[in-house]
Amino acid sequence: MDRKLLAALQEDAGQSYAALGEIAGLSAGSAHERVRKLKAAGVIRRTTVDIDPASLGAGVLAFVLLEANAWMGDEPTQQALRDIPAVEEAHIIAGPASVLVKVRTTTTEDLQATLRALHEVDGVTSTQTVVVLESFFERQPAVV
């Protein structure tokens, strides 16, 4: 039942509780209560709108590997990355670098400015950037 609700919400988070209840075989009130419990349990982290970045002028997508000479998972580093507006995601990784960040900008000049800002983050020693030419799809985690 919860998985049906989650799948339906991933498809369209703006659905009414009556519509969600129909999908999961519940009343609107029961669907509302289940969704509330999923939020309280942290399964649903937030409700958001999926906006096409290119339609807002943010058509340059890049993934940047940050190499570092220090642990990058502390709060000051996390905040420094959050403070760079073009950084959409940041992940501590195992592999050829310490951190992987997802960056969206309006132009390649803005991407260059973002790379400069990333180099200013304490501990960052170098970056490797992969610019995306075309995205086939981006998906949410599968609800199975």
Residue % of the chain over a pLDDT of 70: 99
Q: For residue range 2-48, what is the model confidence (pLDDT) as tens digits?
A: 999 999 998 899 999 999 999 999 999 999 999 999 999 999 998 88
The band of 140, judged by pLDDT with boundaries at 50, 70 and 90, is confident
pLDDT of the residue at 11: 87
pTM: 0.79
pLDDT of the residue at 73: 92
Mean pLDDT, the chain, integer: 94
Bridge partners for 85 per DSSP = none
Cβ contact 144:3 at 8 Å: yes
Cβ contact 61:30 at 8 Å: no
